Structure 1
Amino acid sequence: MTQMKHQFKFNPLATAILTLLCGSSISSYAESTIPASTVDNQKMKDSIQEAYPGQQFFEQYYVDKSAPEAQQRQGQNLGSAYCKGTWITPISPETKAVDPDNATSTVTADYGHYDPNGDSVLEGNVLIDQQGRQIRADKITIDQTQTYANAQGRVQMAQSGLLAQSDQINYNLKTQQGDLNNSFYISEEQHAHGRADKIARTSENIVVMNNATYSTCPPDEKPTWKIQADKITLNKETGRGETRGTKLYVKEVPVLAVPYFNFPIDDRRTTGVLTPSFGFSNDGGVELAVPVYLNLAPNYDATITPRYIGNRGPMLEGEFRYLTENFGSGMIWGGYLASDSEYNDKDRKDLHLLHNWQINNQFSTNLEYNYASDKDYFADLNNNPNSKTDLNLRRAWELNYKNGIPGLKAQLKVEDFLTLDDTVADKDRPYARLPQFLLNYKTGDAQGLQFEFDHDTAYFKKDMSATSLANNDSYEPSGTRIYNDFSVRYNYRNPWSFVIPEVSLRNVNTFYDKDTVNTLNQTSTSSENQSVTVPEFTLDTGLTFEKEGKYLQTITPRAFYAYAPYKNQNGHPNFDSATASINYDQLFSPRRFYGHDRLEDNNFLSLGLSYSLFDEIGLERLKTSVGQSFYFEDRRVRLDNESDQFDTERHTGPVLSVSSQLSQNFTLGANSAWMANGDNAQRDVQLYYTGNQGNLYNVGYFYRKDIPNRQDQYDQVVASFIQPVSNNWRIMGHAQYDLDNNVAREYLLGVNYEACCWGISVYGRSYYNDLDNVNDDSVKPKRAIMAEISLKGLGGFNNKLSSLLESRILGFNKINQSWTQR
């Protein structure tokens, strides 16, 4: 008998199958609702011959990454670098399916019979095809009343990277209820597969699965891990899933059991328990935290984290996020630990607030508040490895203006600081700005005549202790400072030269507040206000010479002259200024100080020479710059009103900067500055290498000479590395060594293993609090041993190591991505 293909519309039957299958696969969590089973004797024999359940089905769609069908996906969704194969389903994840209610189904079969008075049948290679969706079966039957549908014989459904198989589906078209047994599924995008003994669609929105599994491990081996649940209920209406009797298996051995778990199956935010975290440290002991997410409203939520630290006791942390319709967004977070037994039974706490509001295209505002009970809080209790202890916690409100009047930017802010270390002297604590107004206006031609105006008005306030008030030498005044700077420059540039003359007029006015005036009048005859005006002239000029050939070479000589007359500013307060650092670019700036408390006197000339060498592929093989400043007068304006030898020297020492891209993988950088007497003031050398096999090496040396009132001593070596030792193993480390104090400020050593569906990292770390005096015998380093386990496709128990390395190893993100996704 010769069979023929028939094409015809059969929407009731297609709707039955598609509603059952597609309706239960709305989200990535519902893939396991798609079925597969074996019913006849021949298929039972095939099942017995399989090495694992569903072998024939899974291996049909798990292909080598070098296969043409895998390459056609252009590297998308190809899975972990350590998987030899990848899932390729008939319809790619990028193909979106139309709504079954609105789609037209084209049905193809070897045989089709429609009986309005009895059962209608499609038989032999049945294919129901819609845009972005396919269903295959050996036989499909629908009853006379158009109520019950039955599909038999390896029923498969493919849609948007999802593929499922079942040998039989029974479905009630009117109640939209049905069930299927022994189901297998594949999710290409999640690189996952699994099975369920029974799947029942109990209503339009609820699917119940019994004895269901989930894993991202390759199908051709016993899974390294899998999740198995006695019962999974998926509720499309609420967007939540519930599991009961859930177990995590590692190599078929149950290692974790969760009686009940609630999880999301779509993008809606819902209340539930998040992934717990655990760790160990030498001062805290064993730690466990269980965050609970609270979806309070569509525009605000909270996370409450009960936390237990073995040696310290219970702690509570919280975070509240909010989004307003017209007033911006923000978050509030903090923590509380009562009677810390490792900290003299003191209560430990912190509180933070951050709010941002883009009012319109021109105005924006932000608010920041930070509080901590002590200087050791963040080192002892903060879970974030990227957190760095700041001595002074900022509290500020800012109102910003830009993008309105062309060339105009402005800011109004109120700023204060909380100094965490009570032993810090008042003179070393920062001033509060109550408030400060900043304005910059630039207009004219960037290639011609240009005008610029800078303005800074601030009221600086510092609350002084009784000791400081009694000690006149350490008294810190408070008051208002008004700074104005009006400049005119002409920018002349062409391909081979530039000449930029500039004339400016600068003014600083200081008005002491009442408390300061009363105190100063008791001890001296200081004026209640002070005013200084200084004109200034600068000329910046240079030439560029190029030579083309196999390599492109450029030489740029540069000369910079600055003149400003001396105005006596002895006794003027220093609210927020500091001496500028020494580097090549600083040679060509008239500003010796950062801040607006002093108007520099200048009469100097800086000369510099830069050389660059570019190869044929554009790498800058060599860039070197050397320069020096020559003074025609002593510098008489000082921050601390005390002269030193540097203010009377006729010239600086040479300043040198060198960098080189020795290859696409190897970069070298070095900087050095000498004083006039030949002593080296500072130097640093950095080497950076990234290999093509996921290896990375960084070495840096940084030195700063102790120059009183100018820069503090600093002498440290920093090194880090990542080195693969096999296809799956790599070791990594970071060290920061203080040569001044002969102590390791921080060191970290870890090992990482990556497999197709899982990974593990174990590392040890020793470090000091940033604010600790390492020479104090009572100060001991903090030590921790941590483990990070990642079950790919499910999530990780801990993500601290990656965050830690990201902040300490230059280039870690790029290397880590190439290692895990090659």
Structure 2
Amino acid sequence: MLKKFLATAILVVSLHAEIEKFQVIANNANTKNNIVIAEGDVVVFSPTYFITAQKVIYDKEKGTFELFDNVVIVKDNNIQTKSEYAFLNVNTDDLYQNPNMFYEEESSIWISSKESDKKNNTVNLEESILSSCDCIDPDWSIRSSTVDYDTEDKWLNTYNTTLYIKDFPILYTPYLGFSTDKSRRTGLLPPVIGYSQSEGVFYSQPIYFAPAPNYDFELIPQVRTDRGYGTYLYYRYADSPNSTLKLSTGFFKEKNGYYEEYDLRSKRHYGASLDYERVNLFSNSKDSKDGIFASLRYLNDVEYRSLEDDRFEESTERQIESKINYIYDTPNYFLGSYMRYYIDTQKESNGDTLQELPKLQAHSYNRPIFLDKLLYSTDLKYTNHYRRKELNANQYELNIPISYSFSLFDDYAKLVLKHEISANKFQYSNDNSNKDFEDGTYIESNSTIALHSDLVKPYEDFIHTVNLSVDYNHSESLEKDGDLYSLTNNNTILSPFPIEKSSDSINLGINQSFYDKEDLTQIVNHKLKQSILYDDFDNPKLQNMENQIIYNYFLGTISNKLVYNHQDDKLIESSSNFSLTYENFDLKLGHYMSKETENSEKENLESYNIYAKYKFSDDYSIGYSTNYNLEDKIRSKQALIFNIDDKCWSLDIKYEKEITPASTVDLEPIKQDIIYLQLFLKPIGMFRQKYEIQRKDSRNDS
């Protein structure tokens, strides 16, 4: 009886369209000629479509479906539409609906419209409301007279458009276009709009180009109405699966009034950078590897960086470093080439800035000689210390250590005997002071006896590990010839090329940790170091004692490092950090202190930093951060941050007080009070704004 009931209540019909095969399930179905009429909870499905309706009329000859009442169409498990009436041509993929609710799963965008008409790859919608929020009461929506959406390019255009927050109109524009595709593609990125008391209205419009999968570039023109205008360009390229290249350059021109009022060193700011990384450049075997890393920087003053887009802006440190490193590594030897070039942004000329062009290294790893445990290695370095002005030098360094080790007391301890020959040679040139310096050579011998012990003991709930070490070092000068700074000649012209004679010493150390027995996470780590140095008359002198402890508890980490000077009987350095994460609250605290004493070789410094964040609901959070110099009573940065991160939109508001470097004639830093605003309507785009509330420098600081 049950089988007979199901057979009369549900009819399954197979339909063959020109493109694909459809299955129809309905309570009733009638066929006349080429027309199939299905009624009552109709379900139509194929590899591409899933359709439900109360009535369906299918024309086999034309390949069309006419659907009535509570029509839902899902295509490719991504695009979903709902309407009261729909007409679908499965051969051409054309679709007409009214009224229509359109939803795309990938972008989470829905569009409610009076009617929609899809032909080819374009959907045209009339009198539409668009959003990615809740469709009953959206937080934001865009209302337009007409909309067209390209389903292939995933680009949506709206006309006569008004942005609403809840039911309140906020912004009108005759046209708005954006991509619903999250992949890389050419187009306009969100602009940055701002205002500053000193610079006027600020507008920056990033333009993104993605011509191919392996490279793209971004052009960012900007204008500051009371200051000037400029453009920055960023280029990225992957020339192989193992490499990346990044290039950037930029230019900004100051207006005469701003240039003169703020006494800037340069009227034009420009610069360029290159970053390149590649592995397996020449190496093609498992037993060797190589790589090159290049980071080149050039700028004429620090303003070049401070004017960049926040997404690319680097730290505005006084000294800019460029470097090119290449390494080739095998199990037996290591080769390296390093170049360093420095620009001091506070100097008019860097002719007297010392560069390393280049530094070469050849190193052979430990290998046995005569006996299995008798090991030796070699390390050879060459450095060209170069500058256009003053004294230059070529430096050659050679180190040859030989060591022998064996275990004691049933492997509870290990004894290491080591002897090392070290040689340094300086060849001086290009001294504009007309001083005749003799090339310097220094060779010394270092002998070491080291005793180490690694102990592990498990307990019921934790594991305790201890590393104890003591070593004695004896140094002897074998050759000391020519002009060597601090050894044979104290002329300050030689100070960039110092040589230090090693001293006899005893080094003591303990490193112990406690680990959780179940997951082996570290609970406590404690390190204690103490050295004793002997002078030329074998008088011992206690060096700074270092004590460091780290406690990892279930809510965060507590750490402290202390440095104690025995001669001054004072703590000369302290560094403490504390972190806590509890439910929706994050806190990080840091404190640093150093003291200038007779023997510390440090300066008086003290500062603290604070970072706190509280998430008071699923979407809302507030944060605070500050860096304060207690010694100089200067707060270098202070920020209050408010964030809303909803499913369909996010808002970041940050109020920041900061001190930034400036390329003024007097090199005085600038104090700024700035409000940053960032609104992201997902996935339409982002609005970024920046308002400078207050600016102070050496001319108007009160």
What TM-score do you get using the length of structure 1 for normalisation?
0.71
Distance (Å, rounded) in 1 between the aligned partners of 2:484 and 2:645: 62
Deviations 1:347-389 (A, max 9, x none): 2223222233442444433443322221344335552486211
Q: Deviation string for 1:463-506 (max 9, x for gaps)?
A: 22xxxxxxxxxxx4212112122223346579744433332222
Cα RMSD of the aligned pairs, angstroms, is 3.6
Match of 1:523 in 2: 435
Match of 1:157 among 73, 95, 110: 73
Partner of 2:622: 731
Hey, what's the Cα distance between the residues in 2 that align with 1:461 and 1:709? 32
**What's the counterpart of residue 150 of structure 2?**
235
- The structure-2 alpha-carbon separation of the partners of 1:367 and 1:724, relative to structure 1 and needing over 3 Å to count, comes to closer
Aligned to 1:11: 16
In structure 2, what is the equivalent of residue 304 of structure 1?
Answer: 219
- Alignment partner, residue 422 of structure 1: 347
1:406 aligns with 2:317: no
Aligned-residue offset at 1:144 = 5.9
Distance 1:420 1:690 in 2: 40
Which residue of the partner structure matches residue 106 of structure 1?
23
Distance 1:297 1:624 in 2: 53
Q: 1:815 is matched with which residue?
A: none
1:760 aligns to what? 651
Higher relative contact order (CA 8 A, sep 6+): 1
Shift of 1:291: 1.2
Distance 2:206 2:379 in 1: 49
Residue aligning to 2:273: 352
Contact 2:251/2:304 (CA < 8 Å) preserved in 1?
A: no
Among 612, 619, 632, the alignment partner of 2:513 is 612
Displacement after TM superposition at 1:670 (Å): 0.7
Offset of residue 734 of structure 1: 1.0
What displacement does 1:421 show? 1.0
CA apart distance, 1:11: 2.9
Partner of residue 459 from structure 2, selected from 543, 548, 556:
548
Which residue type is aligned with residue 422 of structure 2? R
Q: In the TM superposition, what whole-angstrom CA distance separates every residue of 1:636-663 from its partner, at most 9, and x where no partner exists?
A: 9xxxxxxxxxxx86111432112212x3
Alignment partner of 1:565: what SS? strand
Matched to 1:456, the amino acid is K
Match of 2:677 among 777, 782, 787: 787
Matched residues in 1 for 2:656 and 2:577: separation? 23
Cα shift readout 1:614-673 (whole Å, capped 9, x = no counterpart): 45555544332323111233499xxxxxxxxxxx86111432112212x31032111111
Residues 228-237 or 453-462, more deviating: 228-237
Residue by residue over 1:719-753, the C-alpha shift from the partner in whole angstroms, topping out at 9 and shown as x without a partner, is: 12112456654321111111221111111122334
* CA deviation vs aligned residue, 1:235-288 (integer Å, no higher than 9, x gap): 355554433333321112232334334434546654322111234456444422
2:503 to 602, 605, 617: 602
The answer (yes or no) to whether the contact 2:246–2:275 under 8 Å persists in 1 is yes
Q: For 1:238 and 1:187, locate their aligned partners in 2 and report how far apart those are by CA, in whole Å.
A: 14
Which stretch shifts more, 488-497 or 158-167? 488-497
Paired letter, 1:432: Q
Show the counterpart of 1:572: 484
Q: Distance in 1 between matches of 2:249 and 2:357?
A: 26
Match of 1:643 in 2: none
Listed as ranges, the gaps of 5+ residues in structure 1 are 16-100, 465-475, 575-594, 637-647, 802-822
**How is 1:32-43 mapped onto 2 (pairs within 5 angstroms)?**
none
Identify the residue that residue 321 of structure 1 maps to in structure 2. Answer: 236
| Letter aligned with residue 667 of structure 1 | T
User: Does residue 198 of the first structure (1) align with residue 121 of the second (2)?
Assistant: no
Spell out the pairing of 1:168-567 with structure 2 (5 A cutoff): 168-173=85-90, 175-188=92-105, 190-203=107-120, 205-220=121-136, 222-236=137-151, 238=153, 240-266=155-181, 269-281=184-196, 283-297=198-212, 299-324=214-239, 329-340=244-255, 341-344=257-260, 346-358=267-279, 359-361=281-283, 362-379=289-306, 381-384=308-311, 387-402=314-329, 405-422=330-347, 429=353, 431-444=354-367, 450-464=375-389, 476-490=390-404, 496-513=412-429, 515-516=430-431, 519=432, 522-524=434-436, 526-527=437-438, 529-545=439-455, 546=457, 548-566=459-477
2:577·2:591 contact (CA, 8 Å) conserved in 1?
Answer: yes
Please state how far the C-alpha of 1:438 moved relative to its aligned partner.
2.1
How far apart are the structure 1 equivalents of 2:217 and 2:685? 21
How far is 1:755 from its partner? 4.4
**Residues in 2 aligned to 1:305 and 1:781: alpha-carbon distance in whole angstroms:** 26
1:305 and 1:132 mapped to 2: Cα distance? Answer: 42
Deviation at 1:293, TM superposition (A): 1.8
Partner of 1:687: 578
The DSSP-based 3-state class of the residue aligned with 1:378 is helix
Change (3 A) 1:483 1:770: farther
> Which deviations, in whole Å up to 9, do the C-alpha atoms of 1:689-730 show, x marking residues without a partner?
11122x111111111233799444432111121124566543
1:36-58: CA deviation from partner (whole Å, max 9, x where unpaired): xxxxxxxxxxxxxxxxxxxxxxx
1:137-191 per-residue CA deviation (whole Å, 9 max, x = no partner) reads 2222233632543122222234535543222222345544332122124455545
1:666 match? 556
Give the superposition deviation at 1:611. 3.9
Q: What is the CA-CA distance between 1:440 and the residue it aligns to? A: 2.9
Q: Are the counterparts in 2 of residues 262 and 273 from structure 1 also a CA contact under 8 Å?
A: no
- 2:79 and 2:417 map into 1 onto residues whose CA distance is 68
Give the secondary structure class of the aligned counterpart of 2:305: helix
- Cα distance change of structure 1 residues 782 and 448 upon mapping to structure 2, 3 Å threshold: farther
2:694 counterpart residue number: none
- Change over 3 Å in CA distance of 1:570–1:680 after alignment to 2: farther
Amino acid at match of 1:502: K
CA distance in 2, matches of 1:676, 1:570: 36
Change (3 A) 1:746 1:684: same
The percent of aligned pairs where both chains have the same amino acid is: 16
Corresponding position of 2:490: none
Partner of 1:25: none
CA contact (8 A) 1:384 1:800 kept: no
Q: Please say if residues 278 and 288 of structure 1, whose CA atoms lie closer than 8 Å, have aligned partners that are also in contact.
A: yes
Deviation readout 1:566-610 (Å, 9 max, x if unpaired): 354784369xxxxxxxxxxxxxxxxxxxx9963641311112234
- 1:584-599 equivalent positions in 2, closer than 5 A: 598=499
Deviation at 1:461, TM superposition (A): 0.6
Counting helix residues as a fraction of each chain, which structure ranks higher?
Answer: 1
Report if aligned partners of 1:388, 1:770 keep a CA contact under 8 Å in 2.
no
Q: CA deviation at 1:792?
A: 4.0
Gaps of 5+ in 2: 284-288, 487-495, 692-702
CA distance in 2, matches of 1:107, 1:733: 60
1:129 aligned onto 2:9: no
- Shift in CA distance, 424/223, structure 1 to aligned 2, threshold 3 Å: same
- Quick check: 2:319–2:343 contact (8 Å CA) kept in 1? yes
Structure 1: distance between partners of 2:588 and 2:663: 26
Name the CA distance, whole Å, in 2 between partners of 1:285 and 1:119. Answer: 70
**2 CA distance for matches of 1:503 and 1:314?**
63
Q: Secondary structure at the match of 1:389?
A: coil
Task: Decide whether the 8 Å contact of 1:307 with 1:315 is kept in 2.
Answer: yes
Matching residue within 617, 621, 628 for 2:530: 628
Displacement of 1:436 in angstroms is 2.1
Question: 2:489 corresponds to which residue?
Answer: none
Aligned twin of 2:565? 675
User: In structure 1, the residue corresponding to 2:310 is in which secondary structure?
Assistant: coil
Q: TM (normalized to structure 2)? A: 0.82
- Decide whether aligned partners of structure 1 residues 798 and 455 sit closer, same or farther in structure 2, where only a CA change above 3 A counts: farther
Residue identity matched to 2:505: F
Kept after mapping to 2: 8 A contact 1:282/1:784: no
